[in-house]
Amino acid sequence: MTRENTHTVAATAQEDWDARAAAFDDEPDHGLRDPEVRAAWADRLRAWLPERPADVLDLGCGTGSLSLLAVGQGHRVTGVDRSPAMAERARTKLAGHTATILCGDAAAPPVGEERFDAVLVRHVLWALPDPAAALRHWRTLLRPGGRFVLVEGVWGTVSPVGIPSGRLVALLEPLVRQVRVEQLSGHSRLWGKEVDDERYAVVATV
């Protein structure tokens, strides 16, 4: 039986993320504390990110759970989150690893002239005021042959919020040479529960 969707990432685009930082990792797919959930995300990242050690930009990194998995797979990670409390928790989580955590806007990350092999974004693009403009800017941060790894979805049934996969693909197509959509709704190990809404990943190569 499908359990009620209690996923809270998409409650509103205007969250007080500093206030939520202390309890953020309580969600199974945020803190990745359950070994099965953590292993499921590690497997996905291994398939989505470059095989060789790469420079990864994790935008809206939250408390740094995906960043930690990426550095564990040999990548060099720069994480960006606009919430100082989230960024501080990410710094603590990634202490001693090859990672830099910055506080700033995911839509215009404060990375200067640095360029990356992958831009990793999970459950952030839907909440930005202009997703198309954000994607165009992120494209300038990718090296030739780099890739987007975008995990998004549509949450809720009465007043759904999010970005349908078709819309995201349409936004990406002018910017990339190859797009692949991977449906994630049926993979309960990723979420720590069964879900009945649209969740997916888009991997797009420039």
The per-residue pLDDT string of the chain (206 residues; one tens digit each, 9 = 90 and over) reads: 333 333 444 444 446 889 999 999 999 999 999 999 999 999 999 999 999 999 999 999 999 999 999 999 999 999 999 999 999 999 999 999 999 999 999 999 999 999 999 999 999 999 999 999 999 999 999 999 999 999 999 988 778 899 999 999 999 999 999 999 999 999 999 999 999 899 999 999 99
Amino acid 15: pLDDT:
64
Q: 146, 162, 171, 147: which is closest to 195 by C-alpha? A: 162
pTM confidence score: 0.91
DSSP, collapsed to helix, strand or coil, labels residue 17 as helix
CA distance 28 to 8: 11
**How far, in Å, are 7, 91, 195 from residue 26 at the CA level?**
11, 18, 17
Q: 132, 141, 130: which is closest to 102 by C-alpha? A: 141
- 148: phi then psi, degrees, rounded to nearest 5: -90, 140
Q: 162, 169, 176, 166: which is closest to 124 by C-alpha? A: 162
